[in-house]
Amino acid sequence: MFLVIHGMRSLNMIWDNQLDADSFYRLQTLWVASCEKLLNIFPITMLGRLQNLGNLEITMCVSLENILQHQGPSASESQALKSSQSTMVETAINFEFPKVRRLILAGLPNLKSFYPQMHTTKWPSLETLVVFRCNQVQILASELLSYQRTSEETQLKSQNEHPLFWVNKATFPSLVELTVLRNDSMKVMWYSDDVKEGILYSKLETLKLKALPRLESICSGSCNFEFPSLKDVLVMACPNMQTFSKGEVNTPKLQKVKLTEDEDERYWGDGVKMVMTLMKTGLTLYTSCMIKLMFEKVSRFSDAINITSLIY
């Protein structure tokens, strides 16, 4: 079952609370585009009907702030929340989309988060994730426990700095391709301080980062990354990105790193190691692009060239 909602410029709500009990259970693809007044896509009451959803694309909805609609607390819950605000974050809600394989979020300039309150999400089947021109998103994903440990230190200082996704170790077990393009606000992709366990993306093969002028690193802390399947990396127009991660990065299958989209300008073999080494030294990727010819030499004469001679 396909549902396309396009160009409904006055639409401010897709679903209400009067749905038939058996409606939309067979929905497999949802595409919402160019609905200028739409603030969110789903009410929480819809989640049980999305067990067969496999493809979700939301594009060019300029007022959209969240994917899931927040349902405000009752009066008694509000009072309880006020009395506990100084202690810790509110209890997290868990959302699961068991069959979604493709998630596209594009042209959503006011999108701030998947759900505006504390939550975790699980996407056990998600293979492709694209985030394009979502300029309010400053952090792609944050581990919930990491935030809880540091909330009193106010490392995430405002609602605007809350991540698009609250995650845990099991959020994206099947992710194959991750693309983040043209975001003027994103500073870090993953917020985590779990150095001991690190972050594992066992099936990720392709990582594309393009036109992210404020991006400084992939991870906020010194956690280790495991990318056992990563084969292709594009990092383009990210002038402030000085490190991939402060921790260790394991990419045993990484075959090429591209600093442009030109198929002839990619670095193979030891050239890949050189890109990672330069990022570890603090040299920006913009500067790395300027010494492209040196990488080409490294690819041919890696055993004869010293990293110190290239930097200085």
Whether 200 is covered by a domain: the verdict is yes
pLDDT at 149: 52
Whether 259 is covered by a domain: the verdict is no
**What is the tally of structural domains in the chain?**
1
pLDDT at 283: 40
pLDDT at 34: 96
pLDDT tens for each residue of 79-114: 444 444 433 344 678 889 999 999 999 999 999 999
- Give pLDDT < 70 ranges for the chain: 17, 21, 71-91, 145-161, 193-197, 260-312
Whether 141 is covered by a domain: the verdict is yes
pLDDT at 89: 44
pLDDT at 302: 36
Query: Which of 159, 46, 71, 59 has its CA nearest to residue 113?
Result: 159
Angle at 83 between CA 81 and CA 89, to 5 degrees: 50
CA gap 118, 10 in Å, rounded: 30
Q: Cβ contacts of residue 86 below 8 Å, gap of 6+?
A: none
Q: What is the pTM of this model?
A: 0.79
Beta-sheet strand order (sheet of 139-143): 165-167, 139-143, 188-191, 217-219
Whether 227 is covered by a domain: the verdict is yes
pLDDT at 280: 46
pLDDT tens for each residue of 19-51: 776 788 899 999 999 999 999 999 888 888 999
- Looking up residue 115, the CATH number of its domain turns out to be 3.80.10
CA gap 144, 213 in Å, rounded: 26
pLDDT at 178: 96
Whether 213 is covered by a domain: the verdict is yes
- Look up the domain containing 238 and give its range: 2-70+90-254
pLDDT at 177: 96
Whether 173 is covered by a domain: the verdict is yes
pLDDT at 153: 46
pLDDT at 233: 87
Whether 219 is covered by a domain: the verdict is yes
Whether 296 is covered by a domain: the verdict is no
Instruction: Specify the length of the chain in residues.
Output: 312
In angstroms, the Cα distances linking 286 to 103, 105, 213, 264, 290 are 30, 27, 11, 18, 7
